[in-house]
Structures are given as C-alpha cells and as structure tokens.
Amino acid sequence: MATVEKEEKQMEKEDFVYVEQTKGVNGLDKVILREVRDFSAEVYLYGGHVTSWKNEHGEELLFVSNKAIFKPPKAIRGGIPICFPQFGPHGTLEQHGFARNRVWSIDNDAPPFSTNSTDKAFIDLILKPSDEDMKLWPHKYEFRLRITLAPGGDLKLTSRIRNMNTDGKPFTFTFAYHTYFAVTDISEVRVEGLETHDYLDNLRNRERFTEQGDAITFESEVDKVYLSTPTKIAILDHERKRTFVLRKDGLPDAVVWNPWDKKAKAMADFGDEEYKHMLCVEAACIEKPITLKPGEEWRGRQELSAVPSSYCSGQLDPETVLQSG
C-alpha cells in the first residue's frame, strides 16, 4: 500500500494510539510511542531507558545487545542509558551514576513544557531520590525526562533537573545521554563534526589531545570525550547509506566509544562480535560539571534524526542535512 494511502488509512483511525503502556522483557513496565507513519520508540520505566527507535520501515536505529540483562540492578546494555549524577567512575557511586538503575515513574503533572504542538507521541517520566539514594548522594532533586517521537520520526529527549534541597546546599553533577547507534559495519562508519576538537582519551589516562583527522573512522577501540563540541554531529553509516544527525543543547561535550574486540569479550552483557554493529556517540556535560543552587533547574536536550545519506563521505555538512531535514 502506497505511503500516502497508508497514512490516510491510519489517519482515518480516530483512535490512533500514540502512547501505550505495556510490559516488556521480564515483565518490566514499558511505554511504546507510535506515530502515524509507522515510526515507533520504546522506553522502559527501569532506567527511564529508551531501548528502541524505529523508522517508517520498522528498521531498528538503536543498538541493544542480544545479551542485555533486563533485570535490576544491572543497566540495560544499549539504547540510551541516562548517566546521572555523574558520567564515568566516581568514588562512592557506581559508574555513570544511578539514574539508569532506578525505576522511574510516569509524571502525570509535569509542568508546562514549551513543546512543538504537533508532538503527540511523548511520555513524561520523573525520578526523585529514595532514602537509599540519599545515603549515596545526599541531595534532593527532581529529574524530569520527556521522550518524544516527533511526527517525522525524530527522537527527542529533554532532561530537566532541579535542585530541591531544603538545606540551602547546591549540588554539582555531570551528565550524558549514552546513546548506542545501530550501524551496519563499524569499519564503514565516519563521524563528522568533531574534527579539530580537543578530547580526553580514556585509553591514554584521560590525557588531552586534538583530533587531527577530517572525520573520525574506526579501526580499533575508541573511548574519547570531545570537549566544547558543535551542537550538531553526524554519524555516517556508509553501508546503509544512512546518516544519523545528533543535535544537542546544554550538552557541550560528546563521548565517542566503541569497545572493539577485546573489551567486547570482557563484557558479559555484550556479544563478542557486537562491536561491529554499534557506535556510542553521547551528548554530555563532563568537562565543566553543572552546579545548581536550591530551586535552580538545568535543561539538557538531544534530538536524533536518521536521514538517507547520498553524500559521499567528507562532503556531508550536518548544517545542510539539517536544513533539508
């Protein structure tokens, strides 16, 4: 059936279901977001964790490991883990903080949100600290997360974190959307937009270097935190002729990670060969942690789109892609 016909058919359905609450793996609560042109996304309340984003052809655009463990307290391996209140290792907290290891709630009284009025497929989640959490990280906060599947299939995540301390204390945190993109073959992937930027290399004691190449390509393990990066980054899947465009706001840094073969084998919840089919590009705030006084709120937003890339490598200008977006 032609797309337009299909669209009209679906539009005829007065009761099109944009948001459905259901059960996922191991009976975990899950929300499915759908748009009329067959785009979809899935979010687990465990971790506030996006685990699926599909285009109008039903193709999965995010990577989730076949060995992912959908069982607390282990974070789901893949999709978009939320790293808060810190990115990376930390004295008292587990790596990447605890937001991805907690069950979030659906936020039925989210404050008004300056959102695009055509967006109908969205869910508002909220995370607040438990008594246990207060022992780990002694601060009161409200973390509101809106996940939106836009009518054109873009996936938008907006985080609003407010300091709710009543003791007058500020708190400081770092943050990342730890996005796992599904790629056809990592050796045929390029990242554009980070060239000439400085980065901290996690494989070389977080020493600072400057990216020399005219794009980032992948022949071995990469684990780099690029600093003060552009608001738009492009990930080109040459095999699939698909370009992911990541737009971000309030998130100056970008982490690029592929574990490659050795690290892949060392992760129990990751297939030995799966490194060939994924790449993490993570909108983040790491170099300059965020400090909020009581009552202050921080916002961090990322928007993902997947566009056909007839561009041959090196000629992709994320700006152009976005204008044509």
Q: What residues make contact with ligand TA6 under the rule CB under 6 A?
A: 75, 88, 95-96, 178, 202, 223, 255, 257, 280, 282
**CA trace torsion 86, 48, 52, 234 (10° rounding):** -40
Q: Least Å distance between CB 90 and ligand TA6?
A: 11
| 17 or 266: CB nearest ligand TA6 | 266
Q: Distance between alpha carbon 172 and the CA centroid of its chain, in Å? A: 21
Q: Flag whether 315 is marked binding.
A: no
| 29 or 221: CB nearest ligand TA6 | 221
CA distance 17 to 33: 8
| 87 or 122: CB nearest ligand TA6 | 87
The structure tokens listed for 230 are: 């552009």
Q: Give catalytic residues, as residue numbers.
A: 178, 282
Q: Least Å distance between CB 280 and ligand TA6?
A: 6
CA distance 83 to 76: 12
| 7 or 94: CB nearest ligand TA6 | 94
Q: Flag whether 247 is marked binding.
A: no
Residue written as token pair 């044509």: 324
CA distance 206 to 6: 51
Give the residue closest to ligand TA6 by C-beta.
Answer: 257
Q: Least Å distance between CB 217 and ligand TA6?
A: 18
Name, in order, each residue with C-beta under 8 angstroms of 52's C-beta and a sequence gap of 6 or more. Answer: 40, 41, 42, 60, 62, 64, 79
Q: In a 3-state reduction of DSSP, which class is residue 224? A: strand
User: Would you tell me how many other CB atoms lie within 10 Å of the CB of residue 101?
Assistant: 18
CA distance 6 to 297: 43
Q: Least Å distance between CB 29 and ligand TA6?
A: 22
Q: Flag whether 204 is marked binding.
A: no
Residues marked as binding for substrate? 77, 95, 100
